[in-house]
């Protein structure tokens, strides 16, 4: 029954496409009404009960029958409902804060580059001169030549000079923008300066730089970059993470180690057992700071900061923090969870935004088979030779999607938190080597992993917040490359998806978006999304007073409407629908699960447009009514 009901939806764009076809629903209810009447007149009671059961047990159909009065339906009512379909969609278009969900590709407008582009050797010379102007020495520049890097990114232009000055810096930039090199280059240059100029000697078990990252995969990835630069900048390094032999790591720390890349928990274990000392540490990096603080690494960071604070009283210790999302919530957590010194915050223009080279596509499943739609999307991409990451919200969803791919003989691998570290590493290696073309994963793969060959990101399950959308989509279109992001949407995803689509098309930040409908209504914190003014909620004293008066007036009108429609004061009344559909405003009330996802516009109550809304009767109440009526009929028959 639920599927038949959703098949009545039309293919209109925007939030209006989430509304079922009112005329179709009314006609089906009339058909069931005639069936029911015929059953009670011509068949035994038990047959009538069987015919009535779909009406009584389904909350959607129970509410639909309540709307058109299945036992006492007036013909004029059905015709009014039919005529109101077009007008209801027009009202929603006028009230919507953004233009709706379109299946057409869209992307962020390109921002003109501040650097001039040249060709050939002249371009390379100019780009190295750009790095030289940031303060990097010849040895460091030679390491960049070996890596094939020719020009600095926006965040590298901001962070490298600040780090070379010795400032404590927290910087944020879009995914794939070169944040790892933004902190590695100045640190490695400073360590060589300590050896050459200050005559600082290396000591066993005493590293000079600590780089803290949240996952094993990031430890390996950062260590690979350090090893590549160390072919020219002669420094030693090692990695510490869970899932590896503790004794092997202890022997590594026993030698001359300049940089240690580690997860906080494993580094803390070695420190407490006396395998490593922090007396020579001069630089501390916390990579993926937002993930560290939100995923429970705060206590470990605090314990690691205690000996570093004691050391900083004798000698300066520089702190560098990198993240793709430096939101106000992350800043609060930095103050609460870590004993970090006063930090300078740097943020590039593209932080919290989509990239111009990234093309987004949103496909509405419309109640259909999402797995089949996924197979269609990835099969088409495989014909073009694409390698894709497919993101799911849960481990169960991840396994189901990967099983469907394997049934079609599409080479794929799973990557989620229920797998052992060795299994995850093996799956990632298969994907990197090209043995499999599709990596089906959860959000554990959305942070920090640098895989430039990923051309397509598919969101089988749409993320629950905009931050995860930024991190997932950031697995493609890295360092100026082109990429594509395809999202498969269900009804519950449309509020956030519509906001993401509008923000991306207008070049606005995504970090403050919400999945709550009320945030986009008039007076909400995101009501200015359509005009490009985020957070246009009343803030001054006068505006707050006006909002308070308006709320009191709406509350009073809502109480008056309830009393007027009730047979007696205090009883549950029947709310009267607005007399004019276009521009009509009703009392502002809390919306139920089946209400329309209206964003922005006036504070009008358009629940009466929804064919499943029945004068405030909720889904749970209709279920109870259906069950009670069914039990009553069974009792009468017996």
Q: Delimit the domains of the chain by residue range.
A: 2-96+620-637, 122-347, 358-526
User: What is the pLDDT at residue 40?
Assistant: 43
Assigned CATH topology for domain 358-526: Rossmann fold (3.40.50)
User: What pLDDT, in 10s, does the model give residues 119-166?
Assistant: 334 444 445 789 999 999 999 999 999 999 989 999 999 999 999 999
Q: Identify the residue with better confidence: 585 or 502.
A: 502
Indicate the helix (H) or strand (E) that contains 457.
Answer: strand 456-459
User: What pLDDT, in 10s, does the model give residues 284-305?
Assistant: 999 999 888 888 898 999 899 9
Q: Say how far apart CA 144 and CA 142 lie, in whole Å.
A: 5
Q: What is the DSSP string of 134-176?
A: TT--HHHHHHHHHHT--S--HHHHHHHHHHHTT--EEEE--TT
Whether the Cβ atoms of residue 470 and residue 175 lie closer than 8 Å to each other: yes
Q: What are phi and psi for residue 412, nearest 5 degrees? A: -145, 165
Whether the Cβ atoms of residue 591 and residue 517 lie closer than 8 Å to each other: yes
Q: Identify the residue with better confidence: 235 or 523.
A: 235
User: What is the pLDDT at residue 211?
Assistant: 98
Say whether pLDDT at 614 is over 80. no
Q: Kindly provide the b/e burial profile for residues 11-44, where b requires at least 16 CB atoms within 10 angstroms of the residue's own CB.
A: eeebbbbbbbbbbbbbbbbbebbeebeebeeeee
Q: What are phi and psi for residue 87, nearest 5 degrees? A: -70, -35
Q: Say how far apart CA 254 and CA 310 lie, in whole Å.
A: 23
Q: Say how far apart CA 161 and CA 164 lie, in whole Å.
A: 5
Among 104-108, 175-179, 417-421, 481-485, the minimum mean pLDDT is found in 104-108
Please state which architecture CATH assigns to domain 122-347. Answer: 3-Layer(aba) Sandwich (3.40)
- Angle in degrees, 0-180, between the axes of helices 45-57 and 22-42, rounded to the nearest 10: 160
Taking only Cα atoms into account, the Rg of the chain, rounded to an integer number of angstroms, comes to 30
Whether the Cβ atoms of residue 379 and residue 123 lie closer than 8 Å to each other: no
Say whether pLDDT at 572 is over 50. no
Q: What are phi and psi for residue 259, nearest 5 degrees? A: -125, 135
- Angle in degrees, 0-180, between the axes of helices 120-133 and 138-147, rounded to the nearest 10: 140
As a whole-number percent, the residues of the chain with pLDDT over 70 amount to 66
Q: Say how far apart CA 266 and CA 263 lie, in whole Å.
A: 6
Say whether pLDDT at 82 is over 80. no
User: What is the pLDDT at residue 619?
Assistant: 55
- How many CA within 13 A on the CB side of residue 87? 14
Average pLDDT over all residues of the chain: 74
Q: Identify the residue with better confidence: 489 or 59.
A: 489
CB burial of residue 55 (10 Å; 0-12, 13-18, 19+): buried
User: Which among 143, 111, 147, 115 is positioned nearest to 130, based on CA atoms?
Assistant: 115
Q: Identify the residue with better confidence: 98 or 471.
A: 471
Question: Identical fold at 122-347 and 358-526?
Answer: yes
Q: Say how far apart CA 237 and CA 60 lie, in whole Å.
A: 63
3-state secondary structure of 410: coil
Q: What is the DSSP string of 251-279?
A: HHHTSB-SEEEE-HHHHHHHHHTTS---T
Whether the Cβ atoms of residue 624 and residue 607 lie closer than 8 Å to each other: no
Cα dist. 397→88, 100, 262 in Å?
36, 27, 31
Say if strands 483-489 and 358-364 run parallel, antiparallel, or are unpaired: parallel
- Angle in degrees, 0-180, between the axes of helices 264-272 and 298-312, rounded to the nearest 10: 50
User: Residue 138's CB: how many other CB atoms inside 10 A?
Assistant: 10
| For residues 162-189, average pLDDT | 94
User: What pLDDT, in 10s, does the model give residues 328-377?
Assistant: 878 877 777 656 777 899 999 888 999 899 999 999 998 899 999 999 99
**pTM higher than the cut 0.95:** no
């Amino acid at each position: 029954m639920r599927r038949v009901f959703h098949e009545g939806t039309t293919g209109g764009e925007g939030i209006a496409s989430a509304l079922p076809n009112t005329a179709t629903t009314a006609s089906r209810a009339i058909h069931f009404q005639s069936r029911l009447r015929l059953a009670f007149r011509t068949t035994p009671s038990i047959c009538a009960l069987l015919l009535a059961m779909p009406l009584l047990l389904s909350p959607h159909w129970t509410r639909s029958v309540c709307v058109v009065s299945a036992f006492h339906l007036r013909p004029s009512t059905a015709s009014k409902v039919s005529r109101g379909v077009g007008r209801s969609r027009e009202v929603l278009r006028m009230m919507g804060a953004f233009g709706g969900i379109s299946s057409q590709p869209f992307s962020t407008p390109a921002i003109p580059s501040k650097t001039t582009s040249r060709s050939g050797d002249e371009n390379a010379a100019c780009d190295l001169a750009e790095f030289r102007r940031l303060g990097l020495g010849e040895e460091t520049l030679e390491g960049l030549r070996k890596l094939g890097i020719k020009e600095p990114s926006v965040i590298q232009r901001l962070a490298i000079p600040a780090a070379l000055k010795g400032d404590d810096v927290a910087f944020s930039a879009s995914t794939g923008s070169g944040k790892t090199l933004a902190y590695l280059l100045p640190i490695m240059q400073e360590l060589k300066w300590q050896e050459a100029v200050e005559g600082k000697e290396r000591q066993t078990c005493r590293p000079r730089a600590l780089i803290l990252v949240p996952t094993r995969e990031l430890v390996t990835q950062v260590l690979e970059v350090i090893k590549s630069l160390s072919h020219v900048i002669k420094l030693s390094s090692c990695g510490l993470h869970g899932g590896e032999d503790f004794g092997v790591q202890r022997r590594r720390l026993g030698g001359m180690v300049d940089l240690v890349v580690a997860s906080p928990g494993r580094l803390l274990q070695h420190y407490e057992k006396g395998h490593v000392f922090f007396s020579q540490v001069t630089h501390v990096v916390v990579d993926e700071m937002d993930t560290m603080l939100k995923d429970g690494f705060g206590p470990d960071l605090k314990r690691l900061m205690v000996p570093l604070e004691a050391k900083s009283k004798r000698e300066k210790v520089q702190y560098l923090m990198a993240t793709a999302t430096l939101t106000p919530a992350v800043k609060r957590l930095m103050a609460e969870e870590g004993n970090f010194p006063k930090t300078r915050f740097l943020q590039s223009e593209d932080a919290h935004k989509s990239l111009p080279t990234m093309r987004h596509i949103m496909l509405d499943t419309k109640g259909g088979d999402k797995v089949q739609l996924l197979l269609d999307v990835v099969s088409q991409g495989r014909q073009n030779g694409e390698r894709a990451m497919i993101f799911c919200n849960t481990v169960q969803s991840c396994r189901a999607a990967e099983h469907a791919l394997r049934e079609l003989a599409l080479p794929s691998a799973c990557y989620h938190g229920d797998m052992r570290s060795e299994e995850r590493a093996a799956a990632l290696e298969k994907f990197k080597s090209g043995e499999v073309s599709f990596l089906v994963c959860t959000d554990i793969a959305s942070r920090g992993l640098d895989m430039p060959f990923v051309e397509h990101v598919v969101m089988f399950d749409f993320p629950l917040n905009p931050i995860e959308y930024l991190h997932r989509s950031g697995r493609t279109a890295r360092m100026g490359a082109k990429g594509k992001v395809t999202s498969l949407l269900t009804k519950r995803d449309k509020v956030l998806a519509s906001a993401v689509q509008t923000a991306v098309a207008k070049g606005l930040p995504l970090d403050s978006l919400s999945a709550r409908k009320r945030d986009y209504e008039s007076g909400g914190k995101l009501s200015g999304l359509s005009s490009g003014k985020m957070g246009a909620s009343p803030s001054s004293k006068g505006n707050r007073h006006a909002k308070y008066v308006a709320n009191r007036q709406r509350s009073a009108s809502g109480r008056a409407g309830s009393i007027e429609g009730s047979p007696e004061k205090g009883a549950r009344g029947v709310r009267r629908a607005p007399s004019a559909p276009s521009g009509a405003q009703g009392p502002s009330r809390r919306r139920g699960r089946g209400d329309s996802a209206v964003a922005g516009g006036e504070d009008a109550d358009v629940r009466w447009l929804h064919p499943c809304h029945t004068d405030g009767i909720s889904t749970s109440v209709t279920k109870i009514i259906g069950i009670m009526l069914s039990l009553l009929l069974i009792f009468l028959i017996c």
